Structure 1
Amino acid sequence: MGIEELVQAVQSLNTDDAFHARLDAAQWRTLGAYLTGYQARPGDLLIRQGDADRTAYFLARGTLQVYVPGAAPALSRIAMLRPGAIVGETGLFSAQPHSANVEAMTAVTVWALHLPRFEELVQRAPAIAIEVMRAAGAVLVARMRANMALHIAVA
Structure 2
Amino acid sequence: MNEDILQNLQKVNLFRGLSAEEVRSMMSHAELRTYGSSASVFETGADERAIYFLVEGTVEIALEVPFSTEVILDELNVGSVFGESSFFHSQPHSVTARAVSEVTVARLERADYDRLLESNNLAACRMGANAAEILAAKLQHTDHWIADLLQAEEAHRTRERWHQFRQSLGHAFDNPEGGGFSTHAGWRE
TM-score of the two chains, using structure 2 as the length reference: 0.68
2:111 counterpart (116, 125, 132):
116
Q: Which amino acid aligns with 1:81?
A: L
1:56 correspondence with 2:51: yes
For the 8 Å contact 2:18–2:126, the answer to whether it is kept is yes
Aligned Cα RMSD in Å?
Answer: 2.3
Change (3 A) 1:11 1:98: same
- Number of equivalenced pairs: 149
Q: Which amino acid aligns with 2:45?
A: G
Change (3 A) 1:98 1:38: same
Aligned to 1:9: 8
CA offsets 1:71-107 (integer angstroms, 9 cap, x no match): 656x811111111111011233221121111101111
Q: Which moved more, 1:119-128 or 1:38-47?
A: 119-128
Mapped partners of 2:43, 2:104: distance in 1: 18
In the TM superposition, 1:71-110 aligns within 5 A as 76-110=71-105
Structure 1, unmatched stretches of 5+, are none
Q: Which amino acid aligns with 2:80?
A: A
1:42 counterpart (37, 40, 45):
37
Aligned to 2:156: none
Task: Report 1 or 2 for greater relative contact order, CA contacts < 8 Å, sequence distance ≥ 6.
Answer: 1
1:11: Cα distance to partner?
4.6
Secondary structure (helix, strand or coil) at the match of 1:122 reads helix
Structure 2, unmatched stretches of 5+, are 151-189
1:52: Cα distance to partner?
2.1
- Which structure's CA Rg is the greater one? 2
Mapped partners of 1:7, 1:149: distance in 2: 35
For the 8 Å contact 2:49–2:110, the answer to whether it is kept is yes
1:128 counterpart (108, 111, 123):
123
Mapped partners of 1:26, 1:20: distance in 2: 11
Q: Which amino acid aligns with 1:32?
A: M
Mapped partners of 1:144, 1:78: distance in 2: 16
1:12: Cα distance to partner?
4.9
Secondary structure (helix, strand or coil) at the match of 2:45 reads coil
Mapped partners of 2:5, 2:106: distance in 1: 8
TM-score of the two chains, using structure 1 as the length reference: 0.81
CA offsets 1:133-153 (integer angstroms, 9 cap, x no match): 122223323433444444444
For the 8 Å contact 1:59–1:109, the answer to whether it is kept is yes
